[in-house]
Amino acid sequence: MSRSKQFAALVASQPDNELFRFSLAQALLAENRPADALEHLQFCATKKPDWMMPRILLGKALLGLGRRADAKPWLEQALQLAIAQTHEDPERELRAILAELS
């Protein structure tokens, strides 16, 4: 059974569990299924306003799908969280990505 199927079963049993959804999204991204990961990343970002990683992954997934305008606000939010939480590596990476989008 694939990792995404394992996590999909967990999400089906506990749809409000953001950790299961985040794990499912990561598995879907690893399987090169970014479109399928979007709803789970959005759920995580909405449920936890201070959680940086779903926003980064969501922004990158949207970029990979050619949805630059949709990606930018998520990446900007992630950058603000990276600054506020003093995550220097993500901050540098996000600044570089956003500079390319400008």
Q: Where are the domains of the chain?
A: 3-101
To which CATH superfamily is domain 3-101 assigned? Tetratricopeptide repeat domain (1.25.40.10)
pLDDT score of 1:
82
Contacts of 43 (CB under 8 A, 6+ apart): 18, 21
What residues contact residue 72 under an 8 Å CB cut-off, 6+ apart? 59, 98, 101
pLDDT under 70 in the chain at which residues? none
